Structure 1
Amino acid sequence: MQHGTVKGPPLALTMGEPAGIGGEIAAKAWWAVRAAGPAFFLLGDPALVKDAPVALIEAPEQAASAFPHALPVLPLPLAAPAMPGLLDPANAPAVIASIEQAVGFALAGRAGGVVTNPIQKSVLTAAGFAHPGHTEFLGELAGTAQPPVMMLACPGLRVVPVTVHLSLRAALDRLTTDIIVEHGRIVAAALRRDFGIAQPRIAVAGLNPHAGEAGTMGDEDIRIVAPAVEALRASGIAARGPFPPDTMFTPRARATYDCVLGMYHDQVLIPIKTLDMDGGVNITLGLRIVRTSPDHGTALDIAGRGQADAGSLIAALRLAAEIADTRRKAACP
């Protein structure tokens, strides 16, 4: 097999929250990439797509031929008509089914990867959804042996929080040396497998201001973080730190690593969203399938107004295709 550009199956795009901007940004993304790709199809109610021609399909295999002319949609009807900005728990089962079907297609090799539109977790929780978010649900569906890990990426920066959707107090209670090491190993493996980086460089953020300043601002960096860095280095991973978080994201610092491993959610999500809110992509590491998503929410406040920016979804589609291509090339003899 040649190691040039490898084209695989189309990407599966979930519909996300029907009352949000998923349908709008799906249409805008199709207009943006229809000529050069990557090809994708939407699993959802065709009525959500207002501003693009739609081609109804019955199987993922029909998406590629339809894509240059219309947005392929594999119909998944809603229980109630979607009203922009107005949440309806009756539609939660269809939202969940969209994710389940997309993952199923990817596991079967019928979709090159899964790109997920934003969901409204409160609505799904009210309908009995027992997961904190997409990442945990996808981990269950894909049957991973290790917990999935959330990475946020934009041109020039990749970040991974060790603790995610927890209060700051709960995050401090959960943080251990073993969890940091586990995340570091998953990140290093993903950088090699999905991004083609042969020798990944990981910068580990300290927990406290100035990384604790030799214990004068808290001893957690000495007791918890530094031993994790040492363990990662002992296993052959180029990890460094803990570094003072307030100086890790300057242009000069970003040139010295391939990914930042942060201790809690806002520590690393604030910098990346400040740098590139419209182009940031959420990637789930450690899955058997490729999964990306836009780095924003459902935007109920602007749903139905034509104001949504599809930049993050477009970036998520392109990055999913690149990761899938990297994996296929690595599998070539």
Structure 2
Amino acid sequence: MALPRLAVTAGEPAGIGPELIARLAATPLAADLVAVTDRNLLERAAARCGLHLALVDDDGTPRDQRGDGSLRVHHVPLGATEIPGRPDPRNARHVLATLAEAADGCLAGRYAAVVTAPLQKATINEAGIRFSGHTEFFAERTGADVVMMLASPELRVALATTHLPLSAVPAAITRTALERTLRIVHAELRAKFGVATPRIAVLGLNPHAGEGGHLGREELDTIIPLLDDLRAEGMQLIGPLPADTAFVPAQRARYDAVLAMYHDQALPVLKSEAFDRTVNLTLGLPFIRTSVDHGTALDLAGSGRADPASLIAAADMALSLIARSSPLLLRGEGRGDGPLRRQTP
């Protein structure tokens, strides 16, 4: 039976992404890995890690086994040879071309999912290209309404707003935006995670969830009326909860996922608990996309010492999600959303 084909993008060429892909290829992950990047970049990254990769140009043919270190490549040439730790704006279009190929390949059925290594947003902007992140790029590429979620084996956190300055968050918390986000999270918990009746905890925007209006009116004017209306439709929504107590064990037993109002409201909790096991997902896309939960680690780039745990977790979660939609596609052993799936002989 053919292995699921995962498109894996290397992100910022001067960061740790290429080295992480080399280490991912060295694992017995039961997937047909297709690195969407520059072939020579991968060879140099593998050499820095002391690894030998068997690189093969991707011809799209199915395969039912992948040897450790075997990696297919969809070659996208660099604009300039990378210098580890020193991003070069001349490679911005290379990075965007890898994302476009991964997205378009998923839409065309060439890949079952895309897994992304970290990129450097600032470098793309320095090249004169408007860019705010993977999530926004894939949303625009597909015309989809999307939600960013980060998930570990113990906790799932979705975001009502993503890469916004804190001063812009209150204006972005509108009834329309929150309703769209909650409906996507609810639908994707059912479709991708197999949660038949999702229970979603919604955090308040303000300290103590507004303290009855004394610390802000967003809860009274926007969040609570919306939650009441969606509950009347049958959705199980808890809150708005004060963010400072929402993650204590007694609360966690009550929900399957959390909706946070802004990026740093909940992600520090998740990353402090499970940094190497947390995966970034884009909900709402017409394909599966997972990613690492960390940045380019320019200070480690070129050293060969970067930890591949988050990329391995992202690839493994992609396989879990593929398996839920098509159980016969996935072979091997697994325990939920996180553990490495190994090939069976």
Stretch of structure 1 that moved more, 289-298 or 225-234: 225-234
Residues of 2 paired with 1:188 and 1:168: CA distance?
Answer: 26
- Which residue of structure 2 lines up, in the alignment, with residue 103 of structure 1? 103
- Per-residue CA deviations over 1:65-112 (Å, capped at 9, x if unaligned) read 555451222222212111100111111111111111111111111111
Verify the 8 A CA contact 2:25 2:53 in the aligned structure 1. Answer: no
Unaligned runs of 5+ in 1: 1-5
Residues of 1 paired with 2:315 and 2:279: CA distance?
Answer: 9
Output aligned runs, 1:171-250, within 5 Å: 171-250=169-248
- Per-residue CA deviations over 1:121-176 (Å, capped at 9, x if unaligned) read 111122243231111110122232xx211000001100011011111110112111
One-letter amino acid of the structure 2 residue matched with residue 30 of structure 1: A
One-letter amino acid of the structure 2 residue matched with residue 45 of structure 1: D
For residue 323 of structure 1, report the CA deviation from its aligned partner: 1.0
- TM (norm. structure 1) is 0.91
Residues of 2 paired with 1:100 and 1:38: CA distance?
Answer: 21
Stretch of structure 1 that moved more, 52-61 or 187-196: 52-61
Identity percentage over the alignment? 44
- Which residue of structure 1 lines up, in the alignment, with residue 22 of structure 2? 27
- Which residue of structure 1 lines up, in the alignment, with residue 155 of structure 2? 157
Residues of 2 paired with 1:62 and 1:21: CA distance?
Answer: 29
Stretch of structure 1 that moved more, 92-101 or 57-66: 57-66
- Per-residue CA deviations over 1:11-65 (Å, capped at 9, x if unaligned) read 0001200000011111112223x2x423321111123331241322133336665
- Which residue of structure 1 lines up, in the alignment, with residue 32 of structure 2? 39
Residues of 1 paired with 2:296 and 2:101: CA distance?
Answer: 21
Residues of 2 paired with 1:175 and 1:131: CA distance?
Answer: 22
Verify the 8 A CA contact 2:115 2:315 in the aligned structure 1. Answer: yes
Unaligned runs of 5+ in 2: 329-345
Output aligned runs, 1:293-308, within 5 Å: 293-308=291-306
SS in 2 for 1:278: helix
Change (3 A) 1:89 1:116: same
Output aligned runs, 1:121-160, within 5 Å: 121-144=121-144, 147-160=145-158
| RMSD of aligned alpha carbons | 1.9
Verify the 8 A CA contact 1:10 1:63 in the aligned structure 2. Answer: no
- Which residue of structure 2 lines up, in the alignment, with residue 10 of structure 1? 5
Residues of 1 paired with 2:6 and 2:19: CA distance?
Answer: 18
Residues of 1 paired with 2:326 and 2:54: CA distance?
Answer: 30
Verify the 8 A CA contact 1:10 1:64 in the aligned structure 2. Answer: no
Shift >6 Å, 4+ stretches: none
Stretch of structure 1 that moved more, 283-292 or 249-258: 249-258
- Per-residue CA deviations over 1:163-220 (Å, capped at 9, x if unaligned) read 1111111011211122111111000000011001110000000111111222222222
Residues of 1 paired with 2:115 and 2:171: CA distance?
Answer: 32
Residues of 1 paired with 2:61 and 2:146: CA distance?
Answer: 28
Number of residue pairs matched by the alignment: 322
Verify the 8 A CA contact 1:9 1:61 in the aligned structure 2. Answer: no
Change (3 A) 1:53 1:252: same
- Which residue of structure 2 lines up, in the alignment, with residue 114 of structure 1? 114
